[in-house]
Structure 1
């Protein structure tokens, strides 16, 4: 039996009583309540990211501090690794309220700063284009995954392929750091990254519908949030390279 968290013990909002996928054994109302919980958390994360990113982009002393001072460069490196460091205690406290939300907030804010610093070197037109494209792709792929799950399609097989693709992207990024290959290679890298994270959106949405248990709402939110942010960064990379 599923472990029902306190938020599921409250009055469940009215939702569809139809199964989300064939052979669904759990209550559709409980699963829909869980899905709404995840998307509410992700929406708050994205709004917080937009707010922090906008502050970094518009308030130039922040960018100057991070890019021109030794202390700023050290802080910049810390901001890059801080989200991954935060995931360690989060893996232990992900069921402890409110510690899990506090750690999730730290994870989101530090990553938002890194995203904002990336956007600070990009024109507003390119950022807007990347935001619109990201929103369209995420909504389209989410709708497609729900439609496909309803008709019995399963995307669990994508897991090993996507993991292998991410490993290739990581190696490629290190090659780019030490041996820059030019604008064309940057656009290729961005295009491949966008395809991979489109796959991850489908994969993680499928897991959200079928596999995540009710006490894993933090991990489900982290996975979807990272998919969206990485897709945005990938599209930003392509558009920025094309704009230069």
Structure 2
């Protein structure tokens, strides 16, 4: 198959016999592609669940009103914001235990879906549509680029320390924004920086998906790429909202 050839290169010394492109890949290309298909299937389901949950929050107005106008709704909103971080702890322990890993992943995804929905509930439909279209274009193009670069032997593992440092700086910037608002310009700068960082993470995590994740780590691979896509969408949404 053409996809499988992306992981092989000719070995002149052996008369052109195909060898694995990356020494770190211990399994066959067939198994690696099965793993990649499994991860993208999980991500597709996560995005579908997120879309459905967010649409319910946005279009069913009593739901939004409950979260915003009642003390119980506000407490539930805070709980939903914290839930993904809390779920990650048992998910780390049970990520290879079926079906517990899928149940925890479902809770994680639904909680983030509510958070995304509540963010979109106070955003115009035009901005949401533009953000979805641009996010889709960026995700597809960067994913294709990473596979193209991987086929030619490029490696993006060096991005890890830089992205971690940039993400830490972004979190500090967000905390400063909470206590010392910098206005629309500050929000736009935050959105642009976040977009660049999560574009980098999308390349980095896709590169890991191709080369470094083991077959049993499909849950972690799915979470990493799913978070990249969601955070990229929210970052682009922040930029468009600041320009309104």
If the length of structure 2 is used for normalisation, what is the TM-score? 0.92
Query: Contact 1:15/1:29 (CA < 8 Å) preserved in 2?
Result: no
Secondary structure of the equivalent of 1:43?
A: helix
SS at match of 2:72: helix
Counterpart Cα distance in 2 of 1:152 and 1:15: 16
Deviation at 1:19, TM superposition (A): 4.5
Q: Secondary structure at the match of 1:200?
A: helix
Q: Deviations over 1:53-101 (max 9, x none)?
A: 0000001111111111111111111111100100000000000000000
Matched, 1:114 2:115: yes
Task: Answer yes or no: is 1:171 the counterpart of 2:172.
Answer: yes
Determine if contact 2:194/2:235 at 8 Å carries over to the other structure: yes
Matches within 5 A, 1:1-244: 16-20=3-7, 22-24=21-23, 25=25, 26-243=27-244
CA distance in 1, matches of 2:236, 2:146: 21
CA–CA separation in structure 2 for the residues paired with 1:23 and 1:181: 46
Give the secondary structure class of the aligned counterpart of 1:145: helix
Residue 23 of structure 1: how far off its partner (Å)? 3.7
Q: Deviations over 1:77-126 (max 9, x none)?
A: 11111001000000000000000000000000001000000000000010
Rg larger for: 2
Instruction: Provide structure 1 residue ranges, at least 5 long, that are not aligned to the other structure.
Output: 1-13
Following the alignment from structure 1 to structure 2, what is the Cα–Cα distance between the partners of residues 104 and 207?
20
Aligned residue for 1:212, secondary structure, equals coil
Pair 46,202 (structure 1): closer, same or farther in 2 beyond 3 Å: same
Q: TM-score, normalised by structure 1?
A: 0.92
Q: Structure 2: which 5+ runs fail to align?
A: 9-20
Give, in angstroms, the shift of residue 48 of structure 1.
0.5
Check the 8 A contact 1:20/1:146 in 2, yes or no: no
- Runs of 4+ residues over 6 Å off in structure 1: none
C-alpha contact (below 8 Å) 2:139/2:202 kept by paired residues = yes
Please give the alpha-carbon distance, in whole angstroms, between the structure 2 residues aligned to 1:168 and 1:190.
Answer: 13
Provide the rounded CA distance (Å) in 2 between the counterparts of 1:149 and 1:17. Answer: 12
| 2:15 matched residue in structure 1 | none
For 2:34 and 2:122, locate their aligned partners in 1 and report how far apart those are by CA, in whole Å: 40
- Tell me the secondary structure at the aligned position of residue 82 of structure 1: helix
Residues 16 and 29 in structure 1, CA contact (< 8 A), matched pair in contact too? no
Partner of 2:14: none
Indicate the RMSD between aligned Cα atoms, in angstroms.
1.2
